[in-house]
Amino acid sequence: MSSQQRLATWTPPRAAGRREAVRRRRGQSYVRALLLLPAFLSLAFVTVYPLGFTVYASLTDWNLFNYGAPIAFVGLANWANLWRDPNFLIAFKNTAVFALVAAPLTYIVGLTVAVALDGATVGKRFFRVLFWLPLMLSSVLVTLIVGRMMFDPFVGPITAVFAALGLPQVLWLADPRTALATIILLQVWWGTAYTIMLLLAALESLPPELNEAARVDGAGEWRAFWQITFPLLLPVSAAIFLIQVVDAWKVFDIINVLTGGGPGTATQSISLLVYQQGVQGGNISYASAMAWALTVVIALVAGVLYQFSRRWAQ
């Protein structure tokens, strides 16, 4: 080999080391990919595939009870029908009202109780357990036992209080004007426990020096809360609020057990409608379109809230 040839094939020692490092890195990333493969496959199988399948279903006329008939592609017909379906529009309105009222109210009540508990000097542990109790109850138990009993027109304690005060009897769940509000009230009671738990943990982790310094500088309780404590709680508050809003848009069990969507359509929610159409009625295609419409709405709402929460957190 001539010196020129040798020069052509020669590589400096540093470049060879770089190539080796690249090869090693590549090898490592293959190993990583291999290790991630089971998780990716299971995610694809239990999440991506069903989601993709429901998108496909929403574009067909698939009905479980149309025996022997081939499944036809209908394009966006199911999606177009959503906006002409009075039941869907009512369910959309009810769900939006539920989410817009229940989530903020749950947060406000939760924050109030958490702050009060954080500052309590007596019975803190007792009240903490008391307020967390609803968290340990299943939704069906909450709705059936608490919801039904509390608002029972004959034996409910609320009815008794109204009667004792000489107020007229209110048919909480039986009157279309009050049914949704009653369900919101129950959701607030139930959801508050979760909010209290997280906010109380956040409050207890705040450095006390900041509040003490504010007091030394002459700030009152109220000002110290709004200017020190509340801003520090904003990151966790944003997360809680986001979860509450997303949960509220998916409301199903409370309504299903308490009113079944009635009286009339006064408490009909989108998730309940999806269940009635898809699970009970076998109308998979239309229920899929509804479920995806709900998912899109939730994603939009969550996106907007996320942007806000980032600003709050900053």
Q: Which of 5, 121, 205, 280 binds another protein (CB under 8 A)?
A: 280
Q: Which of 27, 119, 157, 282 binds another protein (CB under 8 A)?
A: 282
Positions in 26-85 near another protein (CB under 8 A): 61, 63-67, 69
The residues pairing with 73 across neighbouring beta strands, listed in sequence order, are 60
Give which of 244, 232, 240 is closest to 314, Cα–Cα: 232
Neighbouring residues of 94: CB distance < 8 A, sequence distance ≥ 6: 180, 265, 266, 267, 268, 269
Q: Which amino acid is at 230?
A: F
Residue closer to another protein, measured from CB, 11 or 66? 66
Burial code (b: 16+ CB inside 10 Å, e: under 16) for 105-127 equals: bbbebbbebbbebbeeeeeeeee
Task: Report DSSP state, residue 267.
Answer: T
Give which of 191, 194, 224, 218 is closest to 206, Cα–Cα: 224
* Other CB atoms within 10 Å distance of the CB of residue 226: 11
Instruction: Give the CA angle between residues 16, 20, 21 to the nearest 5°.
Output: 115
Tokens at residue 148, please?
Answer: 């039904």
DSSP H or E segment with residue 243? helix 230-249
Residue closer to another protein, measured from CB, 93 or 310? 93
Residue closer to another protein, measured from CB, 123 or 264? 264
Minimum CB–partner distance for residue 130 and another protein (Å): 29
The whole-angstrom separation of Cα 220 and Cα 295 is: 45
Residue closer to another protein, measured from CB, 113 or 289? 289
Positions in 245-274 near another protein (CB under 8 A): 256, 258-266, 268
Tokens at residue 214, please?
Answer: 């504010």
DSSP H or E segment with residue 312? helix 284-313
Residue closer to another protein, measured from CB, 62 or 98? 62
Minimum CB–partner distance for residue 290 and another protein (Å): 14
Q: Is 277 in the site for another protein (CB under 8 A)?
A: yes
Q: Give the interface size with another protein as a residue count (CB under 8 A).
A: 35
Q: Which stretch binds another protein (CB under 8 A): 125-133, 169-177, 196-204, 241-249?
A: 169-177
Taking residues 211 to 250 in sequence order and writing x for each that binds another protein by CB under 8 A, - otherwise, the string is: ----------------------------------------
Positions in 113-142 near another protein (CB under 8 A): none
Residue closer to another protein, measured from CB, 192 or 285? 285
Examine residue 263 and say whether the peptide bond preceding it is cis (omega within 30 degrees of 0). Answer: yes
Residue closer to another protein, measured from CB, 58 or 283? 283
Residue closer to another protein, measured from CB, 104 or 176? 176
Q: Which amino acid is at 201?
A: A
Cα 17 vs. chain centroid, distance in angstroms? 51
The whole-angstrom separation of Cα 84 and Cα 100 is: 24
Minimum CB–partner distance for residue 76 and another protein (Å): 17
Minimum CB–partner distance for residue 173 and another protein (Å): 5
Binding positions for another protein, rule: CB under 8 A: 61, 63-67, 69, 86-87, 152-154, 169, 171, 173-174, 176, 256, 258-266, 268, 276-277, 279-283
